[in-house]
């Protein structure tokens, strides 16, 4: 393999700016939710950029999009680099897009340098990592790892009423010239660059985060059903008010979970009252629970506690309770060899690094069940993400992409088949 592939910072910055314009919001963020027109536009641009460089695009039934740069032996499973292009409703310009465009930058750097790699290198753009329009998150990578889309996902409805199966179909048809491969093609290893979405690296001014694993995540949908009634005429004794139960649940869990455990994360990001009229006691209150912990057993214990508090407070308010599990992601640790590969790559590039566990889930969590995987983090300003103000200093964008390139070429060298 000839030496010399290098990241072209300008090209990467231009790409990030170009993709940030797709779904750009007035406050400088991005709203490019999974399987929307904006998502389709970004995917089409990515396919076009790949085609221009001879990286063959393909997609699969979960609308994951791949670009493939051939290597010497096409029969060898490829090295895969990826992330996601879908965003939160008030997302930032880097969450996901940085990993996809840095992966493209690695493919282009290899191409620019005329490097023949022993095996193909593929870029993967995973569908619906965020899970905010359609649960669960990391849907595309889950389907890829399992080799199938869970049938119950297909009937899922987004808050705007769209049906997942229809949105998937429309997204696939939006790339008519891109063949649809089976779900779960082979891979030798997976690497993902992502912003840290937390404060650690920036606080320590360290450009490269070597991610050792991802904490566990549980999402629940909590539905509390009481009886709609008149706000003015219904005395307390006659009320079966789901909002009373919801208020008690949120108070008890906010007070009881995070203050007692620095590693625990409890978030209610969405709450809805039906019919949502000022002067009617609601018939139904629905809210989301996002629960996280690095320790699987503790996460299980926290979930049991959430369920028990929901049952107790619903009963107290004379309401019915339905708890729907939406996501269950056990914590994952990346293989030591892959973690060391990333660390060695940062060292070769002269970049300071430190190890850390990811508080956010990522597609790498599912790829780790199919092949040796690892992640690279770069610092983001004030550790803020899932916020339109999300920002990354240009020097950290360049450092992250360089670390990805070094880890990729390090893997390609270490896994090159012995010369025949
Ligand atoms: O929610 C998560 O952890 C991911 O950022 N979507
Ligand atoms: Mn992300
Ligand atoms: Mn995200």
Tokens encoding 296: 């699987």
The atom of ligand 1 lying closest to the CA of 88 is 6
> Can you give the pTM of this predicted structure?
0.95
Tokens encoding 75: 């029969």
CA atoms within 13 A on the CB side of 106: 35
Helix (H, G, I), strand (E, B) or coil at 57: strand
Task: Set out the domains of the chain in order of their start, with CATH numbers.
Answer: 9-215+331-414 (3.40.630.10), 216-329 (3.30.70.360)
pLDDT, one tens digit per residue, over 83-122 is: 999 999 999 999 999 999 999 999 999 999 999 999 999 9
For position 242, what pLDDT does the model report?
98
Residues having CB closer than 6 A to ligand 1 are 129-130, 137, 360-361
3-state secondary structure 361-401: CCCHHHHCCCCCEEEEEECCHHHCCCCCCCCCCHHHHHHHH
Q: Which ligand is nearest to the CA of 88?
A: 3
**Ligand 1, residues 32, 96, 129: which to mutate, most atoms within 8 A of Cβ?**
129
3-state secondary structure 249-302: HHHHHHHHCHHHCCCCEEECCCEEEECCCCCEECCEEEEEEEEEECCHHHHHHH
pLDDT, one tens digit per residue, over 29-63 is: 999 999 999 999 999 999 999 999 999 999 999 99
pLDDT, one tens digit per residue, over 249-302 is: 999 999 999 999 999 999 999 999 999 999 999 999 999 999 999 999 999 999
For position 160, what pLDDT does the model report?
87
**Ligand 1, residues 137, 291, 365: which to mutate, most atoms within 8 A of Cβ?**
137
- How far does residue 5's CA lie from ligand 2's centre (Å)? 27
pLDDT, one tens digit per residue, over 314-356 is: 999 999 999 999 999 999 999 999 999 999 999 999 999 999 9
């Amino acid at each position: 393999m000839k030496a010399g592939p290098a990241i072209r910072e300008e090209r990467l910055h231009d790409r990030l700016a170009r993709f940030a314009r797709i779904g750009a919001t007035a406050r400088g963020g991005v709203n490019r939710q999974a399987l929307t027109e904006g998502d389709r536009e970004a995917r089409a641009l990515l396919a076009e950029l790949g085609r221009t460089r001879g990286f063959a695009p393909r997609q699969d039934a979960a609308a994951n999009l791949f670009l493939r740069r051939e290597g010497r032996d096409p029969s060898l499973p490829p090295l895969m680099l990826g992330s996601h292009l879908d965003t939160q409703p008030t997302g930032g310009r880097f969450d996901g897009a940085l990993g996809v465009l840095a992966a493209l930058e690695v493919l282009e750097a290899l191409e620019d340098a005329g490097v023949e790699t022993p095996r193909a290198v593929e870029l993967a753009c995973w569908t619906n990592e965020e899970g905010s329009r359609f649960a669960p998150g990391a849907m595309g990578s889950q389907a890829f790892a399992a080799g199938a889309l869970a049938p119950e996902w297909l009937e899922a409805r987004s808050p705007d009423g769209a049906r997942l199966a229809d949105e998937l179909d429309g997204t696939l048809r939006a790339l008519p010239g891109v063949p649809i491969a089976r779900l779960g093609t082979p891979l030798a290893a997976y690497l993902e660059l992502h912003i840290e979405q937390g404060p650690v690296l920036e606080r320590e001014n360290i450009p490269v985060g070597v991610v050792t694993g991802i904490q566990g995540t549980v999402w629940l949908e909590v539905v509390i059903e009481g009886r709609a009634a008149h706000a003015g005429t219904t005395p307390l004794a006659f009320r079966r008010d789901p909002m009373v139960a919801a208020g008690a649940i949120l108070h008890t869990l906010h007070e009881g979970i995070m203050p007692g455990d620095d590693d625990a994360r409890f978030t209610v990001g969405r709450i809805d009252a039906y019919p949502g009229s000022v002067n009617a006691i609601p018939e139904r209150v629905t809210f989301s629970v996002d629960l996280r912990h690095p320790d699987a057993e503790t996460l299980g214990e926290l979930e049991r506690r959430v369920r028990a508090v929901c049952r107790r407070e619903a009963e107290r308010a004379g309401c019915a309770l339905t708890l729907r599990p939406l996501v269950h992601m056990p914590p994952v640790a990346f293989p030591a060899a892959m973690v060391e590969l990333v660390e060695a790559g940062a060292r070769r590039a002269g970049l300071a690094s430190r190890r850390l566990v990811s508080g956010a889930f990522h597609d790498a969590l599912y790829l780790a069940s199919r092949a040796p995987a690892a992640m690279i983090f770069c610092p983001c300003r004030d550790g803020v993400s899932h916020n339109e103000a999300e920002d990354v200093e240009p020097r950290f964008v360049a450092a992250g992409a360089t670390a990805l390139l070094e880890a990729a070429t390090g893997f390609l060298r270490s896994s090159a088949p012995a010369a025949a």
